[in-house]
Amino acid sequence: MNEQLARIVSYLKDYDGPEIRLMEVCGTHTAAIFKGAIRSLISPKIHLISGPGCPVCVTPAAFIDKCVEYAHMDGHVLYSFGDMLKVPGTAGSLSDHKGQGAHVEVVYSPFEVLEKAAAQPEVTHVVAAVGFETTAPIYGLMIREMQEKDIHNVRLVTAIKTILPALTWICDSQPEIDGFICPGHVCVIIGSDPFLPLAEKYKKPFVVAGFEPEHLLVTIYDLVCQIEAGEHNVGNHYKNAVHAAGNRKALDVLEEYYEPGAAVWRGLGSIPDSGLYISEKYQEYDGGSFGLDQDIELPPACRCADVITGRINPADCPMFASGSCTPTSPYGPCMVSAEGACGIWYRNR
Amino acid sequence: MSETKDIITMAHGSGGQASHELMSRVFGKYFHNEILDALEDAAVLDMEAGKLAYSTDSFVVTPLFFKGGNIGKLCIAGTVNDLLMMGAEPKYLTCGFIIEEGFPIEDLDRIAATMAEEAAKAGVLIAAGDTKVVDGQGGLYINTSGIGIIPEGRAARAANMKTGDKIILSGNLGDHQACIYSARMGIENEIRSDCGVLKDITDALYGAGITPHTMRDVTRGGLGTILNELCKAAGCGMRIEESQIPVDEKVAGLAGILGLDPLYMANEGKMIAVVAEEDADKALEAMRQTEHGKHAMVIGTVTEDANVQLVTGLGGVRVLDVLYGEGLPRIC
Amino acid sequence: MCIAIPGKVVEVDGMRARVDYSGNQVTVNTGLVEPKVGQYVLVHAGCAIEVMEKDKAEELIELFADIEELGA
């Protein structure tokens, strides 16, 4: 191991000060922390907590229901990323309905849909457009290309959320979190500057991390040092991809094609301006995304809401601990989604 | 010969003239031996007394032809390898074909030719076969079953593993699944399936005077899954060094694109051999002299723990569990 | 919340680029970046979201330099 890295790992392993609670808000970070076995390298007094980092987990069932509706319509095909397939709506998941004959197809990139739309002009191609700021510009580029190529048979049903309002909500409701690991790829788009007002207001450090174990360890070290010294700066340990001001072109795309609006986050409730909706000018490409707020009632013992907000670890949920909720027979959404905290914790317990 | 359509039709499965024509035109060309040529209802085999290994597997892969092989190579190698993993000398195979109407006869010919080639490499005779034709869109499914003889003292079983034994992986992970997914998704690369008979490895080990305690081929579910299955069967644990696990750069690249983990990707020509600690160096050297084992690595040790632990490059330790779900390509 | 991986640009053609990931070639959309052949781009869901100035090895070197600055 690199000598400098070894020094900070040693420091983190030996840390014996007050308990420190650090939160990440990115499912890919949750997974990277397990893959890199980070917890085994640091003191048990440094707690790494998963917050609302999975856009699929926080999306109410009404969104899935809308997608299912389209999938059953004649002359329509519904396209989704793999992550979404098994998430339950009010009456089953997209995967369930696909098995019953609904027109559901998995895509790796939304641009594949444009090719299909051009090839099948008589069909309406509907995209389940989920994601955070990382994916949002991509749907915007789709709209731009559809205008350029005169494609009118594509609709986007969106469930796009932005992370800063959720972080503000967390800071307000969970003062026991001492510092934040900022989501690496969201920050490629929005930069690290947007965290400055949060750091200033709540007097907590926010540091951007990449996804290799080295990035995470340096970021955790930075946060711990700042917390010990009573500092609250914004840091960036993913400089190769993240610039302070973000990606200007991507931000312009967000500006052009979207408007912010209230969105419901399962577990957090409705947060103003935390969703992105296709703007008025481009409404013809929208498939009815506004107001998809109705959620299924979570099963009585399900503690997904507390897991999503980081109040408890998945292992503290009685359904998880008793083995009643597993990836092969999930009880709640956090276990279903490949990026949900429970699913990731279960595969690494 | 009557007007030849070059595709399989229902007539080919009916047992009448068309069936006989198919037999001689395709299967008879490649599958010949005393037993088959007798054309009896069942194969009568003269076998030594002792323990037999007996296995079956069905093959439903698409696409049927891929870089590095085809369904024919897979269906022979798959069953032969299952027998080899028990310490057996594979002797006889059966093969059953379920062909969907419309299947090109030329493709069937290629597949049968590959099967004969692979069977010869493995030293096995195809002793019985069957063909059925069904409605469909030109697909093909093959079942093979196999028998092998286990020489005295050679039986390999999960329960034979002992604390301290070394675990040797025969080569790079994920090649087969990477090849199939690339073909299905139109991603351009030079990744080839690793499918093949592993007899060169087992012969090399026996030739070096080593009898592995346990062997297992690394197929569906990947290394992570089979290591757990072995530990569960044997009531032991393992400690695996992540940095010692070989993965081809191209496969790692593809796995990155699709969000897959090579630890859980399927192979069709890789195995692990668990050997006594004192035999590890010799076993590794023997494996590395072979075609299929040239990238072999010692990846870990059998322990008294209750689980499979993975030690990362930075010295972190985490538990490696079985694969959950289908390992669908993800973006998020 | 997003898988994105770096690949090397081997060809640029208008709004598309051909990107190589250790021998795997994929076409990606370049509406958010202006890449040159030979550069690395970070790709998410078929779209390049940023040009990476450094390769992985250089990135780690920079990271370790960060550690020095943090006063370790």
3 state SS of A245: coil
Which of the residues in chain C have pLDDT under 70? 1-2, 71-72
Q: Comparing C-alpha atoms, which of B89, B59, B23, B4 is closest to residue B176?
A: B59
Q: Comparing C-alpha atoms, which of A261, A260, A256 is closest to residue A281?
A: A256
Say yes or no for a CB contact (<8 Å) between A41 and B258: no
Instruction: Give the Cα separation of A129 and A147 in Å (integer).
Output: 18
Distance of alpha carbon B196 from its chain centroid, rounded? Answer: 7
Q: Is B189 on the interface with C (CB under 8 A)?
A: yes
How many domains does chain C contain in total?
Answer: 1
Tell me how far apart the terminal alpha carbons of chain C are, to the nearest angstrom: 30
What mean pLDDT, rounded, does chain A reach?
93
Q: Is C21 on the interface with B (CB under 8 A)?
A: yes
What is the assigned CATH class of domain B158-319? alpha beta
- Report the topology of domain B10-150: 60s Ribosomal Protein L30; Chain: A; (3.30.1330)
Q: Is A5 on the interface with C (CB under 8 A)?
A: yes
Instruction: Give the Cα separation of B64 and A261 in Å (integer).
Output: 50
Looking at residues A257-275, what average pLDDT do you find? 93
Residue B246 pLDDT: 97
Q: Which domain holds residue C61?
A: 5-69
Q: Is B329 on the interface with C (CB under 8 A)?
A: no
Categorise residue A97: left if φ over 0, alpha if ψ from -120 to 50, beta otherwise: alpha
Minimal CA separation from A228 to chain B, in Å: 25
Interface test with C, best of A12, A109, A308 (most C CBs within 10 A): A109
Which residues on A lie below 8 Å from C60 (Cβ)? 2, 212, 214
Residue C2 pLDDT: 67
Q: Is B321 on the interface with A (CB under 8 A)?
A: yes
Chains in contact with A, counting 3 or more C-beta pairs less than 8 Å apart as contact: B, C
Q: And the tokens for B173?
A: 């992970």
Q: Is B331 on the interface with A (CB under 8 A)?
A: yes
pLDDT higher than 50, residue A277: yes
Residue B332 pLDDT: 45
- Name the pairing type of β-strands B89-100 and B125-134: parallel
Residue A72 pLDDT: 96
The CATH code of the domain that includes C27 is 2.30.30.140
Do residues A83 and A56 touch, judged by C-beta distance below 8 A? yes
Residue A259 pLDDT: 97
Residue A335 pLDDT: 85
Q: Is B256 on the interface with C (CB under 8 A)?
A: yes
List pLDDT tens digits, range A164-210.
999 999 999 999 999 999 999 999 999 999 999 999 999 999 999 99
Instruction: Give the Cα separation of A283 and B289 in Å (integer).
Output: 65
Q: Is C16 on the interface with A (CB under 8 A)?
A: no
Residue B325 pLDDT: 64
Q: Is A50 on the interface with C (CB under 8 A)?
A: no
Please report the residues numbered 111 through 140 in chain A whose beta carbons come closer than 8 angstroms to any beta carbon of chain C: 111-112, 131-132, 134-135, 137-138
Strand partners, A78: A104, A126
pLDDT higher than 90, residue A222: yes
Interface test with C, best of B175, B185, B188 (most C CBs within 10 A): B188
Taken in order of first residue, the domains within chain A and their CATH numbers are: 3-54+173-237 (3.40.50.11750), 61-162+248-285 (3.40.50.11740)
List pLDDT tens digits, range A89-98.
888 889 999 9
Helices (H), A73-193: 94-99, 111-119, 136-148, 163-173, 184-190
Do residues A335 and A346 touch, judged by C-beta distance below 8 A? yes
Residue B3 pLDDT: 43
Looking at residues A304-331, what average pLDDT do you find? 88
Which residues on A lie below 8 Å from C2 (Cβ)? 26, 28, 131-132, 134-135, 183, 185-186
* Side chain identity at residue A227, one-letter code: I
ipTM at complex level: 0.94
pLDDT higher than 70, residue A80: yes
Instruction: Give the Cα separation of B16 and A260 in Å (integer).
Output: 71
pTM (2 d.p.): 0.92
Residue B1 pLDDT: 40
Domain boundaries, chain B: 10-150, 158-319
Which residues on A lie below 8 Å from C66 (Cβ)? 218, 222, 237
State the residue for tokens 């709540």: A202
Interface test with B, best of A25, A35, A56, A135 (most B CBs within 10 A): A35
Say yes or no for a CB contact (<8 Å) between C3 and B254: no
Residue A163 pLDDT: 96
Do residues B234 and B162 touch, judged by C-beta distance below 8 A? no
Which has more confidence, A117 or B328?
Answer: A117
Residue B329 pLDDT: 52
Which residues on B lie below 8 Å from A327 (Cβ)? 324-325
Say yes or no for a CB contact (<8 Å) between A5 and B310: no
Which residues on A lie below 8 Å from B258 (Cβ)? 108
Same fold, B10-150 and B158-319: no
Which of the residues in chain B have pLDDT under 50? 1-3, 330-332
Interface test with A, best of B258, B260, B263, B314 (most A CBs within 10 A): B314
Residue A85 pLDDT: 86
